[in-house]
A and B are shown apart, each in its own frame.
Chain A
Amino acid sequence: MTTATTEKPVNNGVNVEALFGAREALTKAPEAAQFKWRASCEWVKGTQSRSTVDSFYGLGAEQKHKTKFTFDSDHPEVFASEDAAATPVEIVLAGLAGCLTAGIAAVAQARDIQLRSVKATLEAGMDIRGILGADPDVRNGFDGIKVTYKIDADASLDDIKAVVAQSQKRSAVYDIITNPTNVTVEVK
């Protein structure tokens, strides 16, 4: 087994001290741990729409991102759409990949593992008869998601696997996708 015997400190660019500090602080003040994430969305035309993320609530106060982020979504030409942007389900996959990968960097940092490169490919199966209403027994969503990581790091394969497994354990998007969540949609 190759365990890291690094002279220079591991640097994946994640400030784990700050994260652990936050964990400590939030145990003492659980109110501050209550966050609300927000997004808004406006229809553009056809199947195209634009979502915006700007503010959120956390640490007991209103917070603002440094910039307003926008995400376009559309559908591909095979659905007779214009394909002006990625489909919402692809954005979900990108969200999962981003969340897991950030987690991998943080866990690796905490475990003194230097990362050199981390690449994920994601694939999700979907039987579109569900969304088309062609067969009521087919679910709308993914029938499974497969994430494959290629990671180059100063650690044994088992240690790398453990980092990836721990990142899943701590990932918000992974939890959102794997567990049921109540969703309320209203019109005002």
Chain B
Amino acid sequence: MRTTTVVIGAGQAGLAMSWWLAKRSIDHVVLERGEVANSWKTERWDSLTLLTPNWQSRLPGYGYQGGDPDGFRTMPETIGFIEQYAEVISAPVRTHTKVISVRSRGEGYEVVTDQGNWQCETVVLATGACNIPVVPAVAEAVPPAMKTLTPIQYRNPDQLEEGGVFVVGASASGVQIADEIQRSGRPVTLAVGEHVRVPRVYRGKDIKRWMDASGVLDQRYDEVDDIVRARNVPSLQLAGYTDRRTIDLNSLTRIGVKLVGRLAGINQGKAQFSGSLRNVCALADLKMIRLLDTIDEWARENGCDGEVGPPHRFEPTEVEESPPLLLDLTSGRIKTLIWATGFRPDYSWLDLPVLDRKGTIRHDGGVVEAPGLYLLGMPFLRRRKSSLIDGVGDDAHDLSAHLASYVRGKAVKTREVHARFSAG
């Protein structure tokens, strides 16, 4: 089979790209191993709600139409939203078509799937940034008797044995899972490394409203001074609860979660924690203050001060005088360990020499080194919001423009070659 562009993945990224390709009259298909919104259907826990408010689900040519713009979607609602988008834009999605290999062929690519092969000039990788849970190397030393889970396997507390739970990682997934499990009556110990603390509501408005309005989310990849660091910033400690409560280390301590430092090693069944807990908390507090300063400054300059509550600051993160440095994983008190230590993409099927030493794709804002190959949906790909439902559309716009001119350039070249032959 032949087409101009093969888009791999029918999540928000692949669909947004499809919308722009259709706008630019570029013949394409969207290949999806499962169904539309597969990640939301199969890789998220039951109680998860989006941490981005409803108004912030803007996709090209589409947005939230309901009566609760400040609410947060449940998983079924999120799935419905993405499915409707695919329908409304009539995306040419081929479901249950798993890509097994992408290789170069002539001046273009061959995309091998379990439903036949595609020849094309350009390929868009929109297979998601969160395919594989990252589990640190110390996992090998976890006592074999201990049950371990990743957020992709975790569904709800009932799935866990009664007894203690050790959650490693305190970013969005880790804090939400810790909160839910502690409330289910299973005492949680939470290992905290570097993290980003933000309040849900600031001066009476949702933090995402402020970040959106002040331009923080639109910051471009070629404008930040350290893109490597920016791309590796952990997700915000934030949750989309109906009561809009803030989730942070203080709120977790208040319900009884025990904080320990970053998991540094496991020796003879004993987990060892870094003594840097106080510092990572201090860093997070200071960064939050800096964000709030930016917001206050923006509000003042834009004359919003009269319409919103007064500036205020939150209490510092409380850290126990000497947090424990060891936790015995063999005592029987801890029954389950959950690795909430982040995710990485899966490129095991990509047979092209575009990966660096660490297995990440070499690219400039999504334009991959191999001509005609594009990447979409990665953290801070082109903008701070690149991996969010609300952010991928602008990246898809830019990259589809690049793709279109590449295809046009190739077509011109081919015509010139033909002309030369027929003239000769």
Contact = CB atoms under 8 A, between A and B. Distances in A.
Interface residues of B, number: 19
B112 interface: no
A179 interface: yes
A162 B264 contact: no
Contacts of A158: 286, 289-290
B274 A168 contact: no
Interface string B278-296: 0100110011011001000
B23 interface: no
B322 A144 contact: yes
Interface in B348-367: 357
Interface of A: 1, 30, 143-144, 158, 161-162, 165-166, 168-169, 174, 177-180
Nearest to B281: A165
29 contacts: A143-B322, A144-B322, A158-B286, A158-B289, A158-B290, A161-B282, A161-B286, A162-B283, A162-B286, A162-B290, A165-B279, A165-B282, A165-B286, A166-B283, A168-B276, A168-B279, A169-B279, A169-B283, A174-B276, A177-B275, A178-B264, A178-B274, A178-B276, A179-B265, A179-B272, A179-B274, A179-B275, A180-B264, A180-B265
Contacts of A143: 322
Interface of B: 194, 261, 264-265, 267, 272, 274-276, 279, 282-283, 286-287, 289-290, 293, 322, 357
A93 B76 CA distance: 56
Contacts of B290: 158, 162
Chain A facing B: main interface SS: helix
A1 B282 CA distance: 19
Judged by DSSP, the binding face of B is mixed
Contacts of B357: 30
A185 B290 CA distance: 46
Nearest to B265: A180
Contacts of A178: 261, 264, 274-276
A155 B47 CA distance: 45
Nearest to A179: B264
A165 to B, nearest CB: 5
Given A165-B279, A180-B272, 5 more contacts: A166-B283, A168-B276, A168-B279, A178-B264, A180-B267
Contacts of A165: 279, 282-283, 286
Instruction: Find the residue from A144, A161, A177, A179 having the highest chain B CB count within 10 A.
Output: A179
Contacts of A1: 293
Tell me which of A162, A168, A169, A178 has the highest count of chain B C-beta atoms within 10 A of its own C-beta.
Answer: A178
A180 B276 CA distance: 12
Nearest to B283: A165
Contacts of B276: 168, 174, 178-179
Q: Among the interface residues A143, A166, A180, which one has the most CB atoms of the partner chain B within 10 A?
A: A180
Q: Name the 5 nearest CB pairs between A and B, nearest first.
A: A178-B275, A179-B264, A180-B265, A165-B283, A162-B286
B78 to A, nearest CB: 35
B364 to A, nearest CB: 16
A58 B297 CA distance: 46
B296 to A, nearest CB: 10
Contacts of B286: 158, 161-162, 165
A144 B357 CA distance: 39
A161 B265 CA distance: 29
B410 to A, nearest CB: 32
Nearest to B282: A165
Contacts of A177: 275
A35 to B, nearest CB: 19
